[in-house]
């Protein structure tokens, strides 16, 4: 079986449309954005969008998957250091002025009114959280972390302050202070 290479023009078009979807969602919210507005922002026809995605949620999933792929998950280092790197990336992402970061409140809002968005939001969050859980589980296996701790609860406790600050305060959590969260939750 031979693998076919992806046409670079098609890939560029997909990335342009995904970027437009994130920008549109950040600007007007999930409910107000349309395939038409995304296509216009991307400079393509609606047919081009529908050639790649079944609809708005399918497109948003693809667009946010691109952001998810950027998350830093170090393979080496102590569990603490790996968690600090991951939390720093998350804090920088949440504190940033990027459209992707601005999509978070829009996604949370849409999840309250649309079951399919809610399902996606929960699935997307669980996938992100799993990266933290995996590192914590590895730390438990190596003895760096108390194996009696609930890895899921530890992961939620680590990221909770960052999301709290992003959603409920005007000041995002300072990326250079995330080590304090790790040290508080997982004292040595």
Q: Which fold has domain 70-185?
A: Tetracycline Repressor; domain 2 (1.10.357)
Buried/exposed 51-79: b ≥16 CB within 10 Å, e otherwise = eebeebbebbbbbbeebeeeeeeeeeeeb
Q: Is the pTM of this model over 0.85?
A: no
pLDDT averaged over consecutive 10-residue blocks of the chain (188 residues)? Answer: 65 91 92 95 94 93 80 90 95 82 86 93 90 95 94 96 92 94 89
Q: Which fold has domain 8-62?
A: Arc Repressor Mutant, subunit A (1.10.10)
Domain with CATH 1.10.357.10 in the chain: 70-185
Domain with CATH 1.10.10.60 in the chain: 8-62
């Amino acid at each position: 079986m031979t693998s076919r290479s992806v046409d670079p023009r098609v890939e560029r078009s997909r990335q342009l449309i995904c970027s437009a979807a994130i920008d549109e969602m950040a600007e007007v919210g999930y409910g107000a954005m349309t395939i038409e507005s995304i296509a216009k922002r991307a400079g393509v026809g609606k047919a081009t969008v529908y050639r790649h995605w079944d609809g708005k949620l399918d497109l948003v999933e693809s667009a946010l998957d691109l952001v998810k792929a950027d998350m830093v998950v170090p393979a080496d280092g102590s569990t603490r250091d790996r968690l600090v790197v991951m939390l720093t990336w998350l804090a920088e992402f949440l504190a940033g002025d990027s459209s992707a970061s601005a999509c978070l409140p829009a996604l949370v809002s849409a999840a309250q009114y649309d079951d399919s968005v809610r399902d996606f939001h929960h699935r997307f969050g669980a996938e992100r959280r799993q990266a933290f859980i995996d590192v914590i589980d590895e730390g438990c296996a190596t003895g760096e972390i108390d194996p009696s701790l609930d890895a899921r609860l530890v992961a939620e406790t680590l990221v909770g302050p960052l999301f709290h600050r992003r959603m409920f305060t005007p000041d995002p959590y300072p990326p250079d202070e995330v080590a304090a969260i790790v040290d508080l939750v997982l004292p040595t």
